Amino acid sequence: MKYYLIAGEASGDLHASNLMLALKKEDPKAEFRFWGGDLMQEAGGTLVKHYRELAFMGFIEVIANLRTIFKNIKICKEDILEYEPDTIIFIDYPGFNMRIAKWAKELNISTQYYISPQIWAWKENRISAIKRDVDEMYVILPFEKEFYEEKHQFPVHFVGHPLLDAIAKKELVVPEEFKKEHQLDNRPIIALLPGSRKQEISKMMETMLSLSDDFKEYQFVIAGAPSQDPEFYKPFIKKKNVHLVMNKTYDVLSLSTAALVTSGTATLETALHKVPEVVCYKGSTISYQIAKRVVDLDYISLVNLIMNKEVVTELIQKDFNKERLKEELNKILDSEHRQTIFEAYFELERKLGGAGASQKTAQLIYQSINK
């Protein structure tokens, strides 16, 4: 079978790569062509465009890059027609993927959607397009199945969260070797996960690093995103207790005592590594004001959304400042508070449905296109 996959960011690249490996087990003759990243390339197949060329963050940034976005949509459609896949697999990235799905459905091309658009947060009216254009939907959050099936009468497959597989298959880190390799000392580590896009990293780093002088008994380790060049981070590494480790986020988290994390998939990754965290977010004023009016959620972090209560503190916009961040970091370094977070993390993992998401999804996709 010929599979065409579209992932538009780092987390999509990770989950798509694991899905590709699982599909190879189901379909030894599988061929892949895709929009994605380095991990998908490692899994095998042909990369059309890297997600670095696709990532635009926030309402204003998207509007400013509309010409590029529509050009990429045109390129994608032409490439799909030339490749003639047996199915297209969309991985999240709804602004782009839903447009391709509509076009593909009109041409009677099989459409499989892995990792649902977050229509439960905003743009719920997209449900009509999903019902029309998506043959099969594979959801990874437990409340999404109820949302689709009970509220909107659209059957979906809950396959569990692929992060459980991604974390489980990582090799154990030898602390002494890792610290020596990356010139770290023996002080406890506070991990900084400032995001994957240049504009969000720049917004987050100044405030995160403003705490380094107040916590000299710790070392701050920036988990460099695979989508960025190490040179980009150099201006942020000015103090002796601040370090950069590129492309080793899970290794950094496995050795960390606490973490400051930009809202997104990384909040869940941090929780599954059992690291107490403070969730941070600061966007452009205009983008934030628009988002506040269209997003109907009590929380922004996946941890709190899945648990339906505040497990980790969220510092958003004006609340994301040095004083509040210092206060919350002190809390998650306190042993009693940490124990409460750990207990919630174990319950969170139980709710996510166990390992095997990639393999379950691969089996269902293969069955679907072989009906």
Q: What is the pLDDT along the chain (371 residues), one digit of tens a residue?
A: 999 999 998 889 989 999 999 999 999 999 999 999 999 999 999 999 999 877 655 555 556 566 777 899 999 999 999 999 999 999 999 989 999 999 999 999 999 999 999 999 888 999 999 999 999 999 999 999 999 999 999 999 999 999 998 898 888 899 999 999 999 999 999 999 999 888 889 989 999 999 999 999 999 999 999 879 999 999 999 888 999 999 999 999 999 999 999 998 899 999 999 999 999 998 766 655 655 555 667 898 999 999 999 999 999 999 999 999 999 999 999 999 999 999 999 999 999 988 899 999 999 999 999 87
Query: Could you state, in order of their start, the residue ranges of all structural domains in the chain?
Result: 2-160+356-369, 174-351
State the pTM of this model: 0.82
Strands 2-7 and 256-262: unpaired
Measured distance CA(38)–CA(14) in Å, rounded:
9
Measured distance CA(13)–CA(358) in Å, rounded:
13
Measured distance CA(129)–CA(216) in Å, rounded:
52
**CATH of the domain spanning 2-160+356-369, picked from 3.40.50.300, 3.40.50.2000, 3.60.130.10, 3.10.28.10:** 3.40.50.2000
Residues facing 245 on adjacent strands: 223
Which CATH code is given to the segment(s) 174-351?
A: 3.40.50.2000
Provide the residue count of the chain. 371
